[in-house]
Each structure stands twice: as C-alpha cells, then as structure tokens.
A = this chain, B = another copy of it.
Amino acid sequence: MGKIVCNISMSLDGYIAGPDDDNDKYPLGKGGERIHEWVYELKSWRSLHGLEGGIDSKDGEIIAEIVESTGAMIMGRRMFDSGEKYWGDNPPFRNPLFIVTHTVPEITSKGGKNIYNFVTGGIESALGKSKAAAGDKDIAIMGGADIIQQFIKAKLLDEIQIHLIPVLFCGGKKLFDNLGDKQIGLEIIRVVNSPNVTHIKYKIVK
C-alpha cells in the first residue's frame, strides 16, 4: 500500500478556514477562500472540475502529482456536507471517497453515488476500508481540521504537505490544534516554491 497523506492550504498563521465558518453562508469561513485562490487558475485543477483552459506551472505540477498519487480519500462529514452541493453530479474526485459520519445521509447527486462511501466506525474503520480501494496508491486525508487532527493524534498520518499561503488570517479554524501537549517532530521531505505559495512536504516522526 501507499502512504497516508494530507495536502492542505494553510495561512502563515496556521488557519485552514476563516472565522465564523457556517456550512450555508461561509463554508470556508469569512475570507477563507483566500488560501485556495492559487489553484483556480491551474490547468490541472480546472480539468478536475470539468473546466477548460488554465495555466501550467510548478503549482499545477503539485496538483497533478497529488491526483496521480492518490488512490482513495477520507473526509469528515461536515466537509462533505458543505462541498456536496457544489460538486453536484460530476464530483471532482477520481477516487473512492470515504466519509466519516455518525449517520448515513441520503445523497441527491447522481455522480457521487459511485464514489461516496459512508463509514460510521470512526477514522480507523474508514482507513481500513480505504486501504483496499487505494491499492498501491496513497490515501489522502482531505479534512476538515478535526479529522486531520484525529489522524495525527493516532499516529496514523505519514506525511503532510502544507501549501503555505502568504496571508495572516488573524482568526478562524486552526489546522494544528487539539494535538496534546508534547512536541511532534517533522522532517522536511521537499520544498517547492512559486510566487503565490510555498509547498512544504513533511514526514511526521512517530
């Protein structure tokens, strides 16, 4: 099997969503879209979303690499609920998606029925089911923060790639929170930088 990884955009002050996040009005928190702007112009991202055009760049290669290396994905229910209405009948996932949830919802979108898998047994159950689906490829933990924190605390996450965005949010949802009171060691695997974002891939020392 591959690795268990996370690729996520974060402000320099550690936020992955703006303040006052609300699934209906501000799914990314107020101003939270700022940390995702770097992907919108990328050809590799646009093609995932059925959009034409876009540019090739080092940032685009990062997205293409993630798509290529991922075999299955795990996501929290709250993130799924806020995303599903936008993803619609042709969700931007090319892999089985395992959603950690307490109760299994009714799905209205057609396309998603083939790739959405609801798991009620927590992160370890989702991980077990995603392993068979991922084959030799990586399992990507998509978020939100709570699910990622659970994987780090359980020492299940192998690597985390931070897309570090040049902005201070000064409030919102922190990525690295609720992780206990002991230092967690990291090792730098790779740095790729562009004018818009600094991609740093870390191994998590267990």
Contact = CB atoms under 8 A, between A and B. Distances in A.
A198 B187 contact: no
Given A13-B14, A170-B176, A193 B188 contact: yes
A63 to B, nearest CB: 19
Nearest to A13: B176
A166 B12 contact: no
Stoichiometry (number of copies) = 2
Interface stretch (A42-50, A89-97, A101-109, A178-186): A178-186
Interface string A161-183: 01010111111000110011111
Contacts of A162: 12
A: contact size bracket = 20 to 34
A59 to B, nearest CB: 12
A195 interface: yes
A3 interface: no
Given A12-B186, A168-B176, A168-B179, 13 more contacts: A13-B175, A14-B176, A31-B183, A34-B183, A166-B185, A167-B183, A167-B184, A168-B183, A170-B181, A188-B193, A191-B191, A191-B198, A193-B193
Ranked 8 nearest A-B pairs via Cβ: A166-B186, A13-B176, A191-B193, A168-B184, A14-B14, A170-B179, A166-B188, A31-B183
